[in-house]
Amino acid sequence: MKVIVVKDQAAGGKEGYKVFKDALDNGAKVFGLATGSTPITTYKEIINSDLDFSNCTSVNLDEYVGIAPDNEQSYKYFMQTNLFNDKPFKESFLPNGLASDPEAEVKRYDKVIDEHPIDLQILGLGRNGHIGFNEPGTSRDVTTHVVDLTESTIEANSRFFASENDVPKQAFSMGLASIMKSKHLLLEAFGENKADAVKGMIEGPDTVDLPASILQNHPNVTVVIDEAAASKLS
């Protein structure tokens, strides 16, 4: 694991941007993307650059169940407004939150990932150590699946909704097995409320109770964290 500690999230965005640029320069064609507040500064740096993804494919980590793609709370909408409107990709895949047959949707998404092996996957980190929506206790063998979100995740994500009750209770998520297949992983975490999860991910035991600790087993991980998120590292 290569760990880069920066002053704040703005500086983290610049480091994240460099990782995307290097990947593109080295021929990467498939980018795994994340939503949430963490990757926003990296996406801003990309938007303000001349990087060109028009020959590339994107595959997102997750999507809420029951939310339409044009709903402002959907991850599709997030990607559109935070990246794709300014930096279009040749094709972009996300799980379909409105899929009427979740099992078929899970299979469809696994096929998407198999057919588009991910060169660089960007990840945020949940306060409870989740990556994608692989919550503590999730088996490491699963590929795409439907997740029951934990109370901690629902509460953390309620800041994007009118009330906690409006936060969907389930999501489609790439599984840990799918994430580990990416050639290069870029995990970003900013803020003091990520410090425990960061410590567990880097220094703690490799355990399903802290899903991100699985990254200790991946040969090519870049971690970009700010001083606050790094504050509990020894």
Query: Which residue number has the CB closest to ligand F6R?
Result: 124
Query: Residue holding tokens 């802290």?
Result: 210
- In angstroms, what is the minimal distance from the CB of 27 to ligand F6R? 25
Nearer to ligand F6R, 94 or 99 (CB): 94
Q: Taking CB under 6 A as the rule, does residue 15 contact ligand F6R?
A: no
Cβ 130 vs Cβ 211: under 8 Å: yes
- In angstroms, what is the minimal distance from the CB of 35 to ligand F6R? 4
Q: Taking CB under 6 A as the rule, does residue 130 contact ligand F6R?
A: yes
Instruction: Say which of 116, 130, 145, 184 is annotated catalytic.
Output: 130
DSSP string spanning 7-51? Answer: SSHHHHHHHHHHHHHHHHHTT--EEEE--SSTTHHHHHHHHTS--
Cα 95 from chain centre = 13
Per-residue binding letters, 44-63, with ligand F6R (x by CB under 6 A): -----------------xx-
Q: Taking CB under 6 A as the rule, does residue 97 contact ligand F6R?
A: no
Beta-carbon contacts of 141 under 8 Å, excluding residues fewer than 6 positions away, are 175, 176, 177
Instruction: Say which of 60, 82, 128, 157 is annotated catalytic.
Output: 128
Instruction: Say which of 62, 119, 188, 226 is annotated catalytic.
Output: 62
Beta-carbon contacts of 186 under 8 Å, excluding residues fewer than 6 positions away, are 16, 19, 20, 120, 121, 122, 123, 221, 222, 224
Cβ 149 vs Cβ 169: under 8 Å: yes
Q: Taking CB under 6 A as the rule, does residue 37 contact ligand F6R?
A: yes
Catalytic-residue membership of 145? no
Report the DSSP pairing between strands 221-226 and 184-189. Answer: parallel
Binding piece for ligand F6R, criterion CB under 6 A, among 15-23, 32-40, 47-55, 203-211: 32-40
Which residues are marked as active site? Answer: 62, 128, 130, 135
What does the binding site for ligand F6R look like in residue numbers (CB under 6 A)?
A: 34-38, 61-62, 124-126, 130-133
